[in-house]
Structure 1
């Protein structure tokens, strides 16, 4: 009888991963997506020397746009003009990602909902109220589910 010993599989120490560095989304219409994330959701678009060195050429060619949230998370948009989800109905999940959630001050939540309505953004559901706070779910120009959420006011 032959015995084998297994070497323990290494794992990162809890807390080693500090935060989300960036999120990259493929988008079909760069102009519509830049307008949505920059002008409607109010994210800051990186320009000039702010653009990551590895993406300068792609940004210059109009193939990538970079936005940043106030906490420093970068949202990269990659232009994929032939992008089509397997199902054109945005309520049907077509990627392994479920949704992207942005946190907002509870005092600004209703304003955010009103901005979405004024821009006629397709709202999937909400606003919803939960024990942890409130949220609203809607779609970006490519049908990716976005949430704006806030903590409960104590």
Structure 2
């Protein structure tokens, strides 16, 4: 067995670092922690660090399966507020809100069509 201390970071492919950095910081309050590289930007929402990695084209097979790249749990009031903000910002909603076991879920897309889920459970 390999013993690890945790996950250091997650990589997400994007086509435009500035657009994606702004999307994640404005919507989720991710902090830009390292933008000194030409091909990726590190953003953080403690304890999660995400590297937005620039690619020419994003071909996310998870999106074609309607599976999120990121999934955020929240309480019911924050979930309702988040839906309002997503609608106000005219972010592409893929599915929901829909009932899940003991709660609701909403699936939406980032600028490169990477899917993001927000949900709550009672």
One fold, TM greater than 0.5?
A: yes
Q: Which residue of 2 aligns with 1:60?
A: 36
RMSD between aligned residues:
2.5
Q: How far did 1:123 drift?
A: 0.3
Gaps of 5+ in 1: 1-10, 52-58
Give the gaps of 5 or more residues in structure 2: none
- Kindly indicate whether residue 52 of structure 2 is the aligned counterpart of residue 77 of structure 1: yes
Distance 2:76 2:95 in 1: 18
Q: Deviations over 1:109-141 (max 9, x none)?
A: 111001100110000001112223221000111
Query: How do residues 91-102 of structure 1 correspond to structure 2 at under 5 angstroms?
Result: 92-93=64-65, 98-99=67-68, 100-102=70-72
TM score, norm. by length of structure 2: 0.82
Q: Bigger radius of gyration, 1 or 2?
A: 1
Does structure 1 conserve the Cα–Cα contact (< 8 Å) formed by 2:13 and 2:58?
Answer: no
Kindly state the Cα deviation for residue 69 of structure 1 after the two structures are TM-superposed.
Answer: 2.0
Alpha-carbon distance in structure 1 between the residues aligned to 2:4 and 2:95 = 32
- Equivalent of residue 131 in structure 1, options 101, 108, 114: 101
> Per-residue deviation at 1:86?
8.1
Give 1:29's aligned residue. 16
- Contact 2:98 2:104 (C-alpha < 8 Å) held by counterparts: yes
Distance in 2 between residues matched to 1:23 and 1:148, nearest whole Å: 18
Q: Which residue of 2 aligns with 1:43?
A: 30
* TM-score (ref. length: structure 1): 0.67
1:20 and 1:104 map into 2 onto residues whose CA distance is 21
Higher strand share: 2
